[in-house]
Amino acid sequence: MKKNIAIAIHGGAGQDSPYIREHVNDYKKGLKEAIEHGHKLLSKGAKAIDVVEATVRILEDNPFFNAGRGSALNREGEVEMDAAIMDGKLLMAGAVSMVRNVKNPIELARTVMHYTKHVHIAGEGALKLAKIRNLELQPNEYFITDHQRDLLLEETTPTGHGTVGCVAMDEFGHLAAATSTGGLTGSLPGRVGDSCLVGAGCYANELSASSCTGEGELIITSVIAHKVAMLMELKNMRVQEACDYVIRNMENPIPGDVGIISVDNKGRIAFSFNCQRMHRASIDTSGKMVVEVYNV
C-alpha cells in the first residue's frame, strides 16, 4: 500500500551564472539522488526527523552544493559551516554555527538536539561536542573545492551564497526541517547566516516545516520560516499561499534573492522564490517527482 509521505529539498537560490548553466545536469543529478534516497527512507517507515538529516547529509557530501564539502570560503579563505534541524512534532531543535572539520554539520546539529540540553552550540565548543560524540572529522582540504577558490578570488561581487535543505512529512503526519550551509563567499570570519537560526532559515511545528535559502541577512531580519508558520496558524493560509505571501509579495518585496521550500501536515509541498533559480526537487504524496533548477 502506498504511504502518505512527502519530501522536498533545495540546493540554493539566487541569480544564474555560467558555472551553474554548465553544470545544470550535475546539479539535477545530485538533487535526484538525494530526493530518491529520502523518499525511499520515508517509504520504509523512517521518521521525518531522521529523513531530513539523512537527505541533507547526501547534499553536504556532494561538492557541487555549498554545504559540507564544497562550502564557500570566507574572506580569510576558510570554511565555517552552519546547520539546523527541527522536529515539528516535539518542537525541538538543534543548531550549530562556525563549525570546522566536521564532515556533516547536520549530524552535529542533530547531536546538539539529541544529546544536550541546549539548542545551539557554536565554534570550538561545537567541535568539542563532535569529538565527544565521535563524529567523522575531515581536514580542511576535504571541504574546499576549486570552484569555491575561484569564487573567492573573482573580482566581481561574489555570487557564492547557497544552502541545502530538506523538509519532510512521514507516514505518521509528523514534520521536520533541516538546513545546512557553507555560508557566504568572502564574508567576515565568524559570520553566522540564517541557515542555523531557528525561525529564520529552518522551522517546523505541527502544521508545516520550512527551509530557506538566499540572502541570509534578509531571511534573519524577516524571520521567514517562522513567518510562514504564523501565517498558516494565525491566518489559515495554505502552505503555498503563505510562502508566496512572504517571498513574492509585490507590495512589500524582500530586497534580495530569497527562496523557501515547505511541506504541510497533509503532505502538500510548496516552493517559492523571487530570483532566477532555485535548485529544488520533491516527491509528493502521489509519488510524482519534480527536479528543477530554473523557473518553469
**CB of 108 vs its own copies, minimal distance in Å:** 11
- DSSP secondary structure code for residue 276 in this structure: S
Of 1, 188, 250, 296, the one binding its own copies by CB under 8 A: 188
152 near its own copies (CB under 8 A): no
Nearest Cα to 55, choosing from 294, 283, 267?
283
User: Would you say 92 or 289 has its CB closer to its own copies?
Assistant: 92
What's the rounded Cα separation, in Å, for the pair 60 and 149? Answer: 18
User: Would you say 42 or 231 has its CB closer to its own copies?
Assistant: 231
Nearest Cα to 242, choosing from 267, 286, 210?
210
Do residues 292 and 27 lie in contact, with contact meaning Cβ atoms separated by under 8 Å? no
Stretch of residues binding its own copies (CB under 8 A), selected from 7-15, 164-172, 185-193, 267-275: 185-193
169 near its own copies (CB under 8 A): no
Stretch of residues binding its own copies (CB under 8 A), selected from 21-29, 123-131, 277-285, 288-296: 123-131
**E strand or H helix at 218, and its extent?**
helix 216-222
Of 6, 46, 192, 202, the one binding its own copies by CB under 8 A: 192
173 near its own copies (CB under 8 A): no
81 near its own copies (CB under 8 A): no
Q: Residue 270: which residues within 8 A CB-CB, separation 6 or more? A: 239, 240, 242, 243, 244, 260, 261, 262, 263, 264
167 near its own copies (CB under 8 A): no
Do residues 187 and 148 lie in contact, with contact meaning Cβ atoms separated by under 8 Å? no
Residue numbers at the binding site for its own copies (CB under 8 A): 86, 91-93, 95, 97-98, 116-126, 128-129, 187-193, 197-200, 203, 216-217, 220-223, 226-227, 230-231, 234-235
